[in-house]
Structure 1
Amino acid sequence: MERGTPVENRITRDFLDEGRGRSRAVDTADPAFGRTHAWLGRPIFNRPAFLQSEEVRSLDRDLGILLRVLSSLPERLHDGDPGRMARALGLNEDQAEAVTRCAVPGPPVPLGRADLLRERGRFRLVEFNTTSSLGGCEIAEMSRGMLADRPLAAFAEKQDLGYVDPVAGIMASMAVSCPTGSGLPVAVVKWPNSPETAEDFGHLDLFLRQLAELGHEAFPCHIGQLDYRGGVLTARGRRVDRLFRTFQLSRLTGATEARELAAPLLDAVADGAAAVFAPLSADLYGIKDCLGLISDGTHQDLLDPVEAEVVDRLVPWTRPLRLGRTTREGRTVDLAAHLRSEREHLLIKPSAGFAGQGITAGWMVGPEEWDRSVAEALRSGAPYVVQQRVTADAERFVDADDPDTLAPCLLNWGVFHTVHGYSGAFVKGIPHAEQDFRFLGDGSHVGCVFHRLPGPGTQEH
């Protein structure tokens, strides 16, 4: 482990107090976790992570400000034209046209999941996912399973702890973004990976159950099952006027097949016959180049003092991977030379990538492999960014092989933000491993998050 001393808040230390003995670990093989295991398919941390009230208040405020800054970039930089912004970010013409056709008037409705690391006790944001395709939003199911454990439930009651259901917040944002009085069901739309798996909706089972439990009628379909005729949009033969998309704008590759698949959705939305959540323009703000735009000193005049303070505190140094001169801590540097000299403190990542794919972390490779990865990224023609490393703090968990031992684990935090503000969170990490970014595989564990601050959508226990 790279950080020797775990950094934990008071609630975490109280929970791990050795006087609590075996009650410091929850039995995640309990049937209460059945739906969680079926959904997740990965190991579960044997306790929640905990946030203190002031941490939740800070996340609520900071992420709200940062999300407003990102979603207002078309107005600040491109005269309010999201299509123009898409082209400036290097998106293809089909994607830019789709963004323009599906533009929604008025300020964007808050929606996103921030990926954060704690560094020396304070949160730093490394990515902000701003689409409706937000992995991990079903995490409240794990929280409910945790509370089936009597010692943990007693601890939560004593500490006045609860959790927020992200799905409730997401659907509250959808109600604002796509209001309707039609009573029609919501079509949850995926993009098929192949003809063989087109009608496999198993990955949506828990999400659809949670929607039903929240009182929302919804059903799944793939984008090829949409049909738009005579001003009426149908999905699998059922009339709909609201679409919840689980695919990303990047699916519009420019290929004829992709264009034809998307046509009914784009036509219906452009005609006002249906609304899609989130608007396709939402994907623009999660492109990592946007973090470079707002953290680049040349654009500081676009931010007011409050926004600038949040960006400076929350966002690590991030720049487009383009050779030439750039700024670093108030000085001008040659990016190529900076990449070589600061390899162990940098990483490169695809600007529109996800799930840790395509990332090269300089501290995990040698100089030759680093140089090769940089050269390949530059040759690819696809946009990449270079970002300052944020060294994650560790927290302790009961060791699965030795219940009397606490083992440190570096954590990645996924924090949801909606019209409710702070809207729940989860953590990921790889026990007994150095800092890594391949959190979707390699044995990564997932945990839920409890907090002390009641708020909209909070489950009181």
Structure 2
Amino acid sequence: MTDRVTQAYLSDESLHGVMGRLDLPPCLEAAYGHRLVNRPFFLEEAVAHEIAADLLAFFELLLTLPRRFFNGSFKDFAAALGLPPEEAALMSADRPPLHGRADIYRDGDRFRLLEVNAGSQLGGPDLGELARVIRETPEFEPFADAHGLRHVNPIEKLLDAVGRDRTIAFLEEGGMLTRFARGFASFREACARQGVDVLLGELHEVTERNGHLHLGGTRLDAVIRYFSAKQAVKYADLLTKGHKTELYTPLSSYYYGNKSTLALLSERRAELTDAERALVDKLLPWTRYLRDVPRDEVRAKREDLIVKAAGEFAGTGIHPGWLLTDREWADLLDDVAGQPYVVQERVRPTTDVVPGDDRPWVTTWGWFFTDAGFAGMSIRAMPVEDGAVISYAGNPLTRVSGLLLY
């Protein structure tokens, strides 16, 4: 299915050079300018909000799993997900805010959920700025005006959720602030455009004084967390001592962003209500703990399955069966046996057309959501022939673009 605005864009060759003539802010240019898809993407606004509403309902369903299946025991819940006890010890039973990014494939008129990234440690929120620049580019503006195009900025929604009148720091750890320096500079630039000056730092630079966390001598009201539960174990004393600085989002978000959570939900769908089953079936492909599926069955269905490390991110530990030989697939299953992996039904996405490129492209739609609903989109895409892991940090062949609503 090609929507009417996409068809209108593709039919107007005068617009096809717009991505090469964007006047990007400096840090956004440094982060993404060399890896842009040669087109913007378009979506009906009602669909954006409909899927976001489904995602919020889906997340609410995930929040019921400890009570529903583990008698409220988060210790048992963590064990079922394969979370190390030292990491689980940092995660409270308190309800985390609904904040995340769902990675989704478009399959005709349907949108199918690949995974839920729960928490604030998300790539791509600054791509809302890319959408803004596309919308404001002079040669594109008449088309945008004619179709009533607009964008939603994930950075704006993030700052709304955290609170704009506070001293905020983005915190990483383990040298990741340096490794992803261009990305964090782009985040900071996008925040500044929203009128909020944020600090950047790593967890090892933080101290606690008078009941607040401090970074470089500055008292912090809120931390937008980019460090992981694994990285936080070393700083357990600092993070669990009841300081007044808000951690947005708490480490308990990892319960619900773990791919094993999806396997648990998929496996026990028969125990859900009719409405809950309908929601799960609408969004989620068949997903199971790898350990629970007979090995012969997984081997036989290689072409239709993908194996994923339950707690990894940025494309790490993802193994598409259809890109492996029978021998490679069997060896993989041997290598990961007993480890926290899930196996998921292959989703065959509708491919996209990119001007100037005869190859079919596949796109991951990164649906940002907060408690308030739809919070913008990150678009990542690449030619089908370049693989199956569409991750900006994990695959250098991945490209990005902006989403405009109509």
TM-score by length of 2: 0.92
RMSD of aligned C-alpha atoms? 2.4
CA distance in 2, matches of 1:291, 1:432: 26
Q: Mapping of 1:123-202 within 5 angstroms?
A: 123-175=111-163, 184-193=166-175, 201-202=181-182
Give, in whole Å, the separation in 1 of the partners of 2:396 and 2:179. 28
Once residues 33 and 172 of structure 2 are traced to their aligned partners in structure 1, the CA distance between those partners, rounded to angstroms, is 20
Checking the alignment, whether the CA contact within 8 Å between 2:27 and 2:189 is kept in structure 1 is: no
Matched to 1:449, the amino acid is L
Select the structure of larger CA radius of gyration. Answer: 1
- 2:48 maps to 56
Alignment of structure 1 residues 362-441 onto 2, 5 Å = 362-378=321-337, 381-399=338-356, 407-431=359-383, 433=385, 436-440=388-392, 441=395
CA 1:174–1:30 in 2, change beyond 3 Å: closer, same or farther?
closer
Counterpart of 1:110 in structure 2 is 98
Q: Work out the percentage of aligned pairs sharing the same amino acid.
A: 28
Deviation at 1:230, TM superposition (A): 4.5
Q: Which residue of 1 aligns with 2:398?
A: 444
Identify the residue that residue 252 of structure 2 maps to in structure 1.
281
Structure-2 separation of matches of 1:451 and 1:416? 14
Shift of 1:438: 4.6
Unaligned runs of 5+ in 1: 1-6, 253-257, 327-334, 401-405, 453-461
SS in 1 for 2:175: coil
Q: Is the 8 A contact 1:33 1:142 kept in 2?
A: no
1:15 aligns with 2:31: no
> Are 1:172 and 1:419, in contact at CA under 8 Å, matched by a contact in 2?
no
* Runs of 5+ unmatched residues, structure 2: none
Partner of 1:68: 60
Structure 1 residues 395 and 299: alpha-carbon distance in aligned structure 2, compared to 1, 3 A threshold: closer
**Separation (CA, whole Å) in 2 of partners of 1:86 and 1:447:** 36
Number of residue-to-residue matches in the alignment: 404
Structure 1 contact 74–85 (Cα < 8 Å) conserved: yes
Shift in CA distance, 374/27, structure 1 to aligned 2, threshold 3 Å: same
C-alpha spacing 1:275/1:140, structure 2 compared with 1 (3 Å):
same
Shift of 1:434: 5.8
Q: CA offset at residue 184 of structure 1?
A: 4.8
Whether contact under 8 Å (2:105, 2:365) holds in the other structure is: yes
What is the CA deviation profile of residues 17-70 of structure 1, one whole-angstrom value per residue up to 9, with x for unaligned ones?
2xx223233142443364433123641112211111342232122111112112
Contact 1:357 1:438 in 2 (8 A): no
CA shift, 1:128, in A, is 0.5
> Does structure 1 conserve the Cα–Cα contact (< 8 Å) formed by 2:259 and 2:310?
yes
Given the superposition, is the C-alpha separation of residues 434 and 231 from structure 1 closer, same or farther in structure 2, using an over 3 Å criterion? closer
> Is 1:265 matched up with 2:226?
no
In structure 1, give the amino acid aligned to 2:237. Answer: A
Q: Is the 8 A contact 1:416 1:423 kept in 2?
A: yes
CA gap of 1:10–1:337, structure 2 versus 1, over 3 A, is: same
Deviations 1:148-178 (A, max 9, x none): 4334221111111111001122223334xxx
Q: Could you say which residue in structure 2 is the equivalent of 1:338?
A: 297
CA contact (8 A) 2:368 2:374 kept: yes
Is structure 2 residue 318 aligned with structure 1 residue 359?
Answer: yes
Structure 1 residue 311 corresponds to structure 2 residue 280? yes
Query: Structure 1 residues 12, 86: CA separation in 2 closer, same or farther (over 3 Å shift)?
Result: same
Distance change (3 Å), C-alpha of 1:230 and 1:150: closer
Which TM-score applies when normalising by structure 1? Answer: 0.81
Match for residue 300 of structure 1 among 260, 263, 270: 270
Contact 1:399 1:407 in 2 (8 A): no
Contact 1:188-1:243 at 8 Å conserved across structures? yes
Q: Is contact 1:172-1:420 (8 Å) kept?
A: no
SS at match of 1:392: coil
